[in-house]
C-alpha cells in the first residue's frame, strides 16, 4: 500500500492526468490511516467495525466512481453513477437494521464484490470491442480493472462463506486465511502501482 501511494504521487502532480487517477493518492492515504487505526483498535481488543464497515462502503463507492470514469458507454455510465449513491443506502440499511453495526456487513460486502466484478468484466468487453488497437501495457485503466477483478473475484467466496468458516475456524485455518488475504492485497496494490507507473517514459541506453 505504501509503494502504491508513493507511485500514485507521480500521477498527482501531472496536470494532464485523468481525474480518477489524481484522486488515488488521497484515497490510498486515507486507506492507510484507517488501516492503522483499525489495527490499533484490534490489538487493544476493541471493536473496530464501527470504522471498518462505513469505510468498506466508501471504498466500494470509490471503485465505482473509478470505473465510471473509465467506461465510455453512456448507458453503463448512468447505471454505475446510480450505484454510487444507491449502494451506500442499501449497505447502511443492512449495517444498522439487519446485520447490526457490531458485525461485519458480509451481505452487502459480497454484493459490492459482485458489482465491482460485473463492472470490470464490462470494461474488458468494451475494451476488446474497440475497432483500434490499444497498448494495454501503458493503460492505467487496464491494470486497475485487472487488479480489482482478480481481487474481488477471489475475496468474494471468503466473505460469502464467512458464517460457515467462523463456526469451525481453527488456528491453522485462520493463519491460512490471513496469508491468503495478504497475497490478495499484495496483488491488488501491485496492480495499482503498475497503473501509476506504466506511463512513465524511460530512456534507453546504448
Residue 119 falls within a domain, yes or no?
yes
Report whether pLDDT(204) > 60: no
Q: What is the span of the domain harbouring residue 188?
A: 2-197
CA distance between the termini of the chain: 35
Q: Is residue 35 assigned to a domain?
A: yes
Mean local confidence (pLDDT), 60-81: 96
Asked if residue 36 belongs to a domain, the reply is yes
Does some domain include residue 182?
Answer: yes
Asked whether residue 206 is domain-assigned, the answer is no
Is there a contact between 90 and 108 (Cβ–Cβ < 8 Å)?
A: yes
The pTM of this model reads 0.92
- Residues comprising the chain, all counted: 206
Mean pLDDT, the chain, rounded, equals 91
Judge whether residue 70 has pLDDT over 60. yes
Mapping DSSP onto H, E and C, the string for the chain reads CHHHHHHHHHHHCCCCCCHHHHHHHHHHHHHHHHHHHHHHHHHCCCCCHHHHHHHHHHHHHHHHHHHHHHCCCHHHHHHHHHHHHHHHHHHHHHHHHHCCCCCCCHHHHHHHHHHHHHHHHHHHHHHHCCCCCCCHHHCHHHHHHHHHHHHHHHHHHHHHCHHHHHHCCCHHHHHHHHHHHHHHHHHHHHHHHHHHHCCCCCCCCC
Domain count, the chain: 1
**Mean pLDDT, to the nearest integer, of 8-30?**
91
Report the alpha-carbon distance of residue 65 to residue 98 in Å, rounded. Answer: 26
- Residue 206 near residue 145 (C-beta atoms within 8 A): no
pLDDT, one tens digit per residue, over 148-187 is: 999 999 999 988 877 666 667 778 887 888 899 999 999 9
Determine the pLDDT at residue 165.
65
For the four alpha carbons of 44, 49, 55 and 60, in that order, the dihedral sign comes to: positive
79 within domain boundaries: yes
CA distance 139 to 199: 7
List the single range of 4-13, 86-95, 182-191 with lowest mean pLDDT.
Answer: 4-13
Averaged pLDDT for residues 43-58: 92
- Section 21-34 average pLDDT: 95
- 204 within some domain: no
pLDDT score for 206 = 41
Residues 108-112 have a mean pLDDT of: 96
Predicted local distance difference test score (pLDDT) of residue 192: 97
Band (pLDDT 50/70/90 cuts) for residue 25 is very high
Amino acid at each position: 500500500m505504501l509503494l502504491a501511494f508513493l507511485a500514485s504521487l507521480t500521477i498527482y502532480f501531472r496536470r494532464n492526468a485523468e481525474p480518477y487517477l489524481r484522486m488515488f493518492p488521497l484515497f490510498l492515504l486515507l486507506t492507510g490511516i484507517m488501516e492503522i487505526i483499525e489495527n490499533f483498535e484490534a490489538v487493544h481488543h476493541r471493536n473496530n467495525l464501527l470504522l471498518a464497515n462505513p469505510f468498506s462502503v466508501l471504498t466500494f463507492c470509490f471503485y465505482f466512481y473509478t470505473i465510471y470514469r473509465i467506461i465510455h458507454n453512456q448507458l453503463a455510465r448512468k447505471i454505475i453513477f446510480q450505484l454510487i449513491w444507491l449502494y451506500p443506502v442499501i449497505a447502511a440499511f443492512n449495517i444498522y437494521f439487519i446485520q447490526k453495526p457490531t458485525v461485519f456487513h458480509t451481505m452487502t460486502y459480497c454484493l459490492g464484490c459482485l458489482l465491482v466484478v460485473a463492472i470490470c468484466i464490462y470494461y474488458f468487453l468494451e475494451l476488446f470491442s474497440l475497432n483500434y488497437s490499444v497498448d494495454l501495457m501503458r493503460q492505467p485503466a487496464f491494470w486497475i480493472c485487472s487488479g480489482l477483478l482478480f481481487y474481488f473475484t477471489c475475496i468474494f467466496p471468503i466473505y460469502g462463506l464467512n458464517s460457515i468458516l467462523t463456526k469451525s475456524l481453527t488456528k491453522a485455518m485462520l493463519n491460512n486465511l490471513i496469508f491468503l488475504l495478504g497475497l490478495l492485497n499484495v496483488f491488488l496494490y501491485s496492480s495499482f502501482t503498475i497503473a501509476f507507473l506504466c506511463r512513465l517514459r524511460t530512456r534507453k541506453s546504448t
